[in-house]
Structure 1
Amino acid sequence: MKRTLLSACLATLMLCNAALGADRIWISSVTLVSPEKLDRIETGGVLIDGGRIARVERGPSRAAPSGAKVVDGKGYYLTPGLIDSHVHLHVVPGMSMEQGASGDSLAQNYFRQMPRSFLYHGFTTVIDLAVSDYGVIDRFRKEPLHPDVYHCGEALVLANGYPMSFFTPETRFQSFGNYLFDPAMPTAVPAQFAPSAHTVAAGVARVDKAGGICVKTHFERGFGKDRNLPVMSGAKFAEVRAAVTQAGKVLVTHANSFEAQSFAVAGRADVLAHGMWHWGALNGQAGLPNDIKALLDRIADQRTGFQPTMQVLYGLRAYVEPGYLNDPALRKVVPASLLAWFSTPQGQWFKPEVTDGEDDAAVMQGMEGPLRRQRAVVAYLASRDANFVFGSDTPSSPTYGNLPGLNGYREMQQLHAAGMSLAQIFKAATINNARTFRLDAELGSIEVGKAANLLLMKTSPLEDVSAYDSVVTVWVRGQQTAREALAADYK
């Protein structure tokens, strides 16, 4: 490992001191770009000591602190590491849940590369919103190079609602151990799963015991063949809100429609874990309806965290996009064996579910309406400088269109095209995420005492969204790695 890291760093003329065991690193000759000081983009230096930021100096270059090894930043831009607050680490893009969990060699290769792929695109922290297997989290943390990982524990799922509905009635209760029983929504529960053991208090306690920093809930009536799923009552959601507050956690709600976001905002959810691409009876309106503007005003005024997750739809569209699998960017984040498998008949198993009998052109056209509505919502919230918190939903479904790290970069591109400024995107992926998920004492900015999760970029993220593809070096807790050594195709 040391030999590989050393050769990679020498190839980019950077010394990988931290990765080779040095405790004190002086990063000199950099332009500091930190979200809490966007009015002070200045040349300076940063001292890393024991994996933490020990000193931040702005102004003319100074001599290296005694005993510190020097990394010459070459005038590049030093930023905090990025935070993706919406990932699902147990899912292998393009595979069914069963195949991904089977120990298949393709899946094993993916899981080994996945942490490096997030780092390749600058994501030094990820938050898993719905853990289905804590072993996946443990294995992720044991990889030699990996982002910091936090989680929401097992999602607090309404019995027989979304996403339990994807599983058969015979298996769903074994698969979702933290289901919630709501008497206001009569639904069948197997006799061996006593509703009395699945109260709000019990569910939140399970998340707390597992070390979760947040609690994930859903308001989803369904789609496809399941369009009338039970949803949580307002009274039950209020009970959840009270228990989550009492536990000191962050309340995240899956909500992608006008109805769902109205419900979640009324119930004071902390984070809306999707954009609003369904407007219900208002879908056909060309502009932004006044009723939706009023809701978006509440979201902005309440500082509710908002994750647009534009890539959810683009991830599905990958199956009907000519040339998607030939994009060279995919080779950087996916093992060659898995990428080749995507093109096989077995690897195309999910396409019929995406197309549902329509031809590719019709599928592409059918997604334009939801994308138009999403863009309108993002643009309006951007005009109100809402509390955007960056989340990519990687992967949003069994699609190979949401690949780790790359999906986040493409989300940023879509957000910028929809109307978010470069400063808003940068803050969403750094300080906004850290503050909203109560991690700002540790992450989100270049400040003394915080974890040394840092990026060195050739281009400023305030100048062009392509800056997020110009990363040269990544630090996680002071451990330094050249970006090129993180690529799936690195030799």
Structure 2
Amino acid sequence: MKKSLFGCLFALLLHVPAGASNSLWITNVKLVSPERLDMVEPGSVLIEDGRIVKVMRGARQRPPAGARRFDGKGYFLTPGLIDSHVHLQSVPGMSFEQMGEKAKLAQEYYKQLPRSFLYYGYTSVIDLAVFDVGFIDRLRRAPLRPDVFHCGSPLVLANGYPMSYFPPSQRFKVFPNFIYDPAQAAAIPAEYAPREHTSAVDAARAKASGAVCIKTFFEHGFGSQHSLPVMSREVYGEVRKAASANGMTLVTHANTLEGQGFAVNGNTDVLAHGMWRWDRLNNEQVLPAEIRAVLDQVIAKGVGYQPTIQVLYGLRAYVDPDWLGDPRIRKVVPASLAAWFHTPEGKWFRQEAAGGESDEDARRGLDVPLRHVRQVVSYLASKDAKILFGTDTPSAPTYGNLPGLNGYLEMQNLREAGMTPAQIFKAATISNARAFGLAAQLGSIEPGKTANLLLMRQSPLEDVRAYDTIVTLWVGGKQVEREQLAADHAR
């Protein structure tokens, strides 16, 4: 009798409706998706096994059989955001030496890091320069984290930017995918064979590490470095060819008129910074025709453009007396690290960021590059160019670029520069997904895509401050309340 009863129960379990345990029906929401911005309307979304399986539009919907119901209270449902320019292994405010010396602080930061991106809605991030793929793998094992994509180890011209900031004894180990330059043979350790450091071999290595993109650089330098070697058009052409051969997006660091013109003429896919240095035109007040010509090429060729305005504010944080008092900092970094920022040791980068100037002079010194990048963004936005959302978090060892919060501040920068809320929304969703070959998985609320979703009280098409009204997130279908992600949330 007992055996028969057990058999009946087992049979019943086998016939539970498919959606009973893994289906979620999010209903009573207003759908905001970038492919249908003209149709913000009531609807519902069905999720199964971490993916969107059905999108239903209309105020009245019959719940699917067996699905759990989530009432969205009439709030706005959007796809999760994508930050396409981050550096995950760097700890804001710390040098590489300090990261080793302050290992406990660094580990506490890393534990909070993925949650901080999620706190402001970034359910996907793209690391453009990986030092340790193992770190990316460990981050991906976090119980709650954004989807992580990367460009692998960047393709850097030997002894050029940014490997030039490391001692010669270390730089080739930190940047193993450097491009061999025969003209510098005497300055490259003999252990590195030229045939192992061509663009083709380097790109294949990046691809093998799981990269979806290639990052390279055109940078003569700044600060104390102004004459770093840069690649020739021929070498850059080889990088372009290698990226195409591997089906990878080519991202180029360039923030000057010369650098962006070089990269656009060489057919880059993405420019990783705004043009805040105008070279010989630096003193011009109105956007010069020569710069408009380069930007027109950006538009005509459909080059993705990451303004990264917050990079400049990350430097300015050291001469901003109010920055460390911002209560939002405690939402995205542990209390221990936030306290360390206030110490003399934690403010070590101030000297480099301010260049020995007074706070007032240092702030004034950033006014020109800020004006430049705003003018460039305004022009591109007026032409509806392909602007991509990326923050360069952290752009330097600065505590002014904090995960998640940096993105929220960048959205305000873009709005002030002339982008509409709709343009910003697209830049952080579908435009990023398309530019990095991820549109089949991410960027919109459509069947078949990963269930990365945000529920917010306000519409992001009306005000960028809506991104601070997130209530609930779904990350790969896993539901979490926003406040549970904050660094100061009691766990």
For 1:174, the equivalent position in structure 2 comes to 173
For 2:415, the equivalent position in structure 1 comes to 416
Greater mean alpha carbon deviation, residues 404-413 or residues 175-184: 175-184
Which deviations, in whole Å up to 9, do the C-alpha atoms of 1:313-352 show, x marking residues without a partner?
A: 0001001101211101101000000000000011011111
Question: 2:359 aligned with 1:356, yes or no?
Answer: no
SS of the equivalent of 1:328 reads coil
Tell whether the 8 Å contact from 1:53 to 1:450 is kept in structure 2 after alignment.
yes
Note the C-alpha offset of 1:22. Answer: 4.8
Question: 2:76 aligned with 1:77, yes or no?
Answer: yes
Note the C-alpha offset of 1:365. Answer: 0.1
Note the C-alpha offset of 1:184. Answer: 5.8
For 1:61, the equivalent position in structure 2 comes to 60
Aligned counterparts of 1:170 and 1:330: Cα–Cα separation in 2: 37
Greater mean alpha carbon deviation, residues 62-71 or residues 82-91: 62-71
Q: How does 1:8-19 map to 2 (within 5 A)?
A: none
Structure with max Cα Rg: 2
Note the C-alpha offset of 1:355. Answer: 1.4
Q: How does 1:102-181 map to 2 (within 5 A)?
A: 104-181=103-180
Q: CA RMSD in A?
A: 1.1
SS of the equivalent of 2:426 reads helix
Q: What is the identity percentage for the equivalent residue pairs of Structure 1 and Structure 2? A: 60
SS of the equivalent of 2:187 reads coil
Aligned counterparts of 1:357 and 1:111: Cα–Cα separation in 2: 31
Task: Say if 1:208 and 1:102 are closer, same or farther in 2 by CA, change over 3 A.
Answer: farther
Tell whether the 8 Å contact from 1:158 to 1:232 is kept in structure 2 after alignment.
yes
Structure 1: 5+ residue runs without aligned partners?
1-20
SS of the equivalent of 2:83 reads strand
Aligned counterparts of 1:29 and 1:184: Cα–Cα separation in 2: 65
Give the partner amino acid of 1:419.
G
For 1:316, the equivalent position in structure 2 comes to 315
Give the partner amino acid of 2:310.
Q
For 1:194, the equivalent position in structure 2 comes to 193
Aligned counterparts of 1:307 and 1:380: Cα–Cα separation in 2: 14
Q: How does 1:292-311 map to 2 (within 5 A)?
A: 292-311=291-310
Tell whether the 8 Å contact from 1:157 to 1:179 is kept in structure 2 after alignment.
yes
For 1:267, the equivalent position in structure 2 comes to 266
For 1:385, the equivalent position in structure 2 comes to 384
Give the partner amino acid of 2:406.
N
Task: Say if 1:307 and 1:22 are closer, same or farther in 2 by CA, change over 3 A.
Answer: farther
SS of the equivalent of 1:47 reads strand
Q: How does 1:37-56 map to 2 (within 5 A)?
A: 37-56=36-55
Structure 2: 5+ residue runs without aligned partners?
1-19
SS of the equivalent of 2:118 reads helix
Tell whether the 8 Å contact from 1:185 to 1:232 is kept in structure 2 after alignment.
no
SS of the equivalent of 2:252 reads strand
Tell whether the 8 Å contact from 1:185 to 1:230 is kept in structure 2 after alignment.
no
Tell whether the 8 Å contact from 1:189 to 1:195 is kept in structure 2 after alignment.
no
Aligned counterparts of 2:416 and 2:242: Cα–Cα separation in 1: 39
Note the C-alpha offset of 1:187. Answer: 6.4
For 2:218, the equivalent position in structure 1 comes to 219
Task: Say if 1:187 and 1:384 are closer, same or farther in 2 by CA, change over 3 A.
Answer: farther
For 1:366, the equivalent position in structure 2 comes to 365
Aligned counterparts of 1:258 and 1:245: Cα–Cα separation in 2: 25
For 2:481, the equivalent position in structure 1 comes to 482
Aligned counterparts of 2:263 and 2:220: Cα–Cα separation in 1: 14
Aligned counterparts of 2:362 and 2:267: Cα–Cα separation in 1: 35
Aligned counterparts of 1:218 and 1:159: Cα–Cα separation in 2: 11
Note the C-alpha offset of 1:103. Answer: 6.5
For 2:231, the equivalent position in structure 1 comes to 232
Give the partner amino acid of 1:238.
G
SS of the equivalent of 2:353 reads helix
Note the C-alpha offset of 1:237. Answer: 0.5
For 2:30, the equivalent position in structure 1 comes to 31
For 2:14, the equivalent position in structure 1 comes to none
TM-score by length of 2: 0.95
Which deviations, in whole Å up to 9, do the C-alpha atoms of 1:426-470 show, x marking residues without a partner?
A: 000000000010100010000001000000010000011100111
Which deviations, in whole Å up to 9, do the C-alpha atoms of 1:405-431 show, x marking residues without a partner?
A: 000010000000000111100000000
TM-score by length of 1: 0.95
Note the C-alpha offset of 1:241. Answer: 0.6
Aligned counterparts of 1:305 and 1:165: Cα–Cα separation in 2: 27
Aligned counterparts of 2:455 and 2:267: Cα–Cα separation in 1: 37
Give the partner amino acid of 2:195.
S
Give the partner amino acid of 2:360.
A
SS of the equivalent of 2:169 reads coil
Aligned counterparts of 2:355 and 2:307: Cα–Cα separation in 1: 25
Aligned counterparts of 1:22 and 1:487: Cα–Cα separation in 2: 29
Give the partner amino acid of 2:24.
I
Task: Say if 1:214 and 1:342 are closer, same or farther in 2 by CA, change over 3 A.
Answer: same
For 1:397, the equivalent position in structure 2 comes to 396
Task: Say if 1:103 and 1:211 are closer, same or farther in 2 by CA, change over 3 A.
Answer: farther
Give the partner amino acid of 2:220.
R
SS of the equivalent of 1:472 reads strand
SS of the equivalent of 1:460 reads coil
SS of the equivalent of 2:182 reads coil
Aligned counterparts of 1:208 and 1:278: Cα–Cα separation in 2: 32
Tell whether the 8 Å contact from 1:221 to 1:227 is kept in structure 2 after alignment.
yes
Note the C-alpha offset of 1:224. Answer: 1.3
Runs of 4+ in 1 over 6 A off after TM superposition: none
Question: 2:351 aligned with 1:346, yes or no?
Answer: no
Which deviations, in whole Å up to 9, do the C-alpha atoms of 1:266-307 show, x marking residues without a partner?
A: 000000000000000001000000010011011011110000
Aligned counterparts of 2:152 and 2:277: Cα–Cα separation in 1: 28
For 1:280, the equivalent position in structure 2 comes to 279
Note the C-alpha offset of 1:134. Answer: 1.4
Tell whether the 8 Å contact from 1:185 to 1:231 is kept in structure 2 after alignment.
no
Tell whether the 8 Å contact from 1:28 to 1:61 is kept in structure 2 after alignment.
no
Give the partner amino acid of 1:336.
A
Aligned counterparts of 1:145 and 1:22: Cα–Cα separation in 2: 20
